Structure 1
Amino acid sequence: MHTRKNQRNLNRTEKRRLVAALLELKRSGRYDAFVSLHGEFYNADGDKGPRVAHMTPSFFPWHRQFLLEFERALQAVDPSVSVPYWDWTTDNTPAASLWAEDFLGGNGRTADQQVMTGPFAYANGNWRIEVSVTETPHLTRKFGGRGGTVTLPTKNDVARALQDPLYDAAPWDSTASRGFRNKIEGWAADGVGKGNNHNRVHQWVGGMMLGATSPNDPVFWLHHAFMDLLWQRWQQQHPRSGYLPAAPLRAGDPQRGRVYGLHEKMPPWDTTPAQLLDHGNLYRYA
């Protein structure tokens, strides 16, 4: 049992050890394997084949397993390390502690969005982008998005999503107008508009966080640890509500074979959403 802390509560030694483990995973090639995996399973509504990671009910359990696999890889390097979470409703400016020189580094420079500070700066020689839809070799960020007008989600944005007692609803994709999953993933028009919560964080960080290979930016893991924590909070707030769809979709449903029911095995691990509803025997949040 290990604890995932708020990143703002990490001490200097904890930050140093996490950074060192990240750099070792990168050096060994294992980090880029996780980037490739996320890119492989990022299928949108209109793409052919199953949708298991995004725009789908299994968004939460799939990413829970993804984070667990990544965390175990980190702990194989340093058993003291765990994935911290970034509460972007509170630490919502470029001056927040996670962007410090001794942790994740800061914003990209104006000319090409290249991150010039911190341990993941290309100039340090330890963080070359190998898996991406572009040929850019360096980590990029553009806080506030391309126009500089994107803001991070607020506590009220999150609260609106948490209030929905329904986990997900047909048509089980980015157009679902009801359900916590789509509201927190950020596609549903919930009074704020599309591009909210999870999605808006990716947009605010910008750069490498915009695409299917967003794990190229180490902040991806801190962001998704917070998403995992929000799923836990939703479960606590709605104890009588559960994962949907509970059963495989009926024959003739256009989403059959594309969306994963409670007891259907999610690739690439052959783990079901039901097996990932509770993380209490694996880790806890502080």
Structure 2
Amino acid sequence: MYSRKNQRNLTRTEKKRLVGAILELKRSGRYDEFVSLHRQYYVTDAESRPRPAHMTPSFFPWHRRYLLEFEKALQSVDSGVTVPYWDWTQDNTPAASLWAEDFLGGNGRAGDRQVTTGPFAYAEGNWRIRAGITDERFLRRDFGRPSAPVTLPTKAEVDRALSDPVYDAVPWNSVSITGFRNRIEGWGIRGVRGVGNHNRVHRWVGGSMAGAASPDDPVFWLHHAYIDLLWTRWQKAHPRARYLPDRAPAAGDPQRGRIFALDDPMPPWDAKPSQLLDHSRLYRYV
């Protein structure tokens, strides 16, 4: 059992060890494998193939396993490192501690949005974006997207999602109007609501975080650790609620074979959502 801490409570040594482990994964090539995996499974609901990771009920369990695999890789470098979480309802400005020079570095510069501060700055020589994913070789950020402003989600918006007693709802995709999953994942629904929560954070950071290769920005992991924590909070608030769908859609349903019910093995690990509902034997949030 280990703990995942709020990033604002990390000690200087804990930050240094986390950054060091991430940079070692990058040097070894393993980090880019995680980026490629996320790109591979960023399947939209406009596509006819299975989509375990996004616009789908298995958004939470898929990313929980993804974070666990990344954490395991970090711990193979430094056994004392865990993934911290970023509560963007509190640490919601460019001056927040996670953007410090000794941690993730700050915003991108004007023009090309290149990050020039911190250990992941291109000029430091340790963080080169792999060719073929974007045209740039450097990490990019565009906090708040001044050209079309975006704000980080508020506690009230998160609380609204946490109050929904149903996990997910038909049509089990990006236009599910109700259900905790899509309220947190945050796909905008015309006439109902705009882009919210998880998705809006990706947009607010911008640059490298705005696309399918979003793990190119190490803040991805802190963001998704918070998303994982919110799932835990929702489960505690609704102890009788269950993962839905608990059975595969019926024959003839357009989602059959495209989404993952409670006991359907999710690629690439063949892990079932039912195996990922409870993390309490592995880690806790503090």
TM-score (norm 1): 0.98
Structure 1 residue 187 displacement after superposition: 1.0
Structure 1 residue 204 displacement after superposition: 0.3
Partner of 1:162: 162
1:145–1:206 contact (8 Å) kept in structure 2: yes
- Against the structure 1 CA distance between its residues 96 and 192, is the aligned structure 2 distance closer, same or farther, given a 3 Å change threshold? farther
- Against the structure 1 CA distance between its residues 190 and 281, is the aligned structure 2 distance closer, same or farther, given a 3 Å change threshold? farther
Partner of 2:246: 246
Partner of 2:120: 120
1:115–1:141 contact (8 Å) kept in structure 2: yes
- Partner of 1:284, secondary structure, is strand
1:35–1:131 contact (8 Å) kept in structure 2: no
Mapping for residues 64-75 of structure 1, pairs under 5 Å: 64-75=64-75
1:33 maps to amino acid: E
Mapping for residues 90-169 of structure 1, pairs under 5 Å: 90-130=90-130, 133-145=133-145, 147=147, 149-169=149-169
Structure 1 residue 133 displacement after superposition: 3.3
- Against the structure 1 CA distance between its residues 8 and 132, is the aligned structure 2 distance closer, same or farther, given a 3 Å change threshold? farther
Partner of 1:205: 205
- Against the structure 1 CA distance between its residues 82 and 131, is the aligned structure 2 distance closer, same or farther, given a 3 Å change threshold? farther
Partner of 1:41: 41
Partner of 2:194: 194
Mapping for residues 212-223 of structure 1, pairs under 5 Å: 212-223=212-223
Partner of 1:178: 178
1:45–1:173 contact (8 Å) kept in structure 2: yes
- Against the structure 1 CA distance between its residues 237 and 263, is the aligned structure 2 distance closer, same or farther, given a 3 Å change threshold? same
- Partner of 2:104, secondary structure, is coil
1:105–1:115 contact (8 Å) kept in structure 2: yes
Question: Within 2, Cα distance between the matches of 1:41 and 1:171?
Answer: 20
Structure 1 residue 111 displacement after superposition: 1.3
Question: Within 1, Cα distance between the matches of 2:156 and 2:190?
Answer: 12
- Against the structure 1 CA distance between its residues 19 and 62, is the aligned structure 2 distance closer, same or farther, given a 3 Å change threshold? same
Partner of 2:269: 269
Unaligned 5+ runs, structure 2: none
Unaligned 5+ runs, structure 1: none
Segment drifting more, 90-99 vs 124-133 = 124-133
Question: Within 2, Cα distance between the matches of 1:248 and 1:58?
Answer: 12
Question: Within 2, Cα distance between the matches of 1:184 and 1:37?
Answer: 22
- CA RMSD across the alignment: 1.3
Question: Within 1, Cα distance between the matches of 2:111 and 2:44?
Answer: 31
Question: Within 2, Cα distance between the matches of 1:188 and 1:228?
Answer: 21
- Partner of 2:274, secondary structure, is helix
2:185 maps to amino acid: E
Query: Sequence identity of aligned pairs in percent?
Result: 67
Structure 1 residue 30 displacement after superposition: 0.2
- Partner of 2:3, secondary structure, is strand
Structure 1 residue 194 displacement after superposition: 2.4
Partner of 1:77: 77
Question: Within 2, Cα distance between the matches of 1:67 and 1:263?
Answer: 20
Query: Across the two proteins, how many residue pairs are aligned to each other?
Result: 286
- Against the structure 1 CA distance between its residues 131 and 249, is the aligned structure 2 distance closer, same or farther, given a 3 Å change threshold? farther
Question: Within 2, Cα distance between the matches of 1:33 and 1:133?
Answer: 12
Question: Within 2, Cα distance between the matches of 1:60 and 1:34?
Answer: 17
Question: Within 2, Cα distance between the matches of 1:146 and 1:282?
Answer: 40
Partner of 1:58: 58
Structure 1 residue 192 displacement after superposition: 7.7
Structure 1 residue 48 displacement after superposition: 2.6
Question: Within 2, Cα distance between the matches of 1:66 and 1:279?
Answer: 13
Structure 1 residue 190 displacement after superposition: 10
Structure 1 residue 71 displacement after superposition: 0.2
2:43 maps to amino acid: N
Partner of 1:7: 7
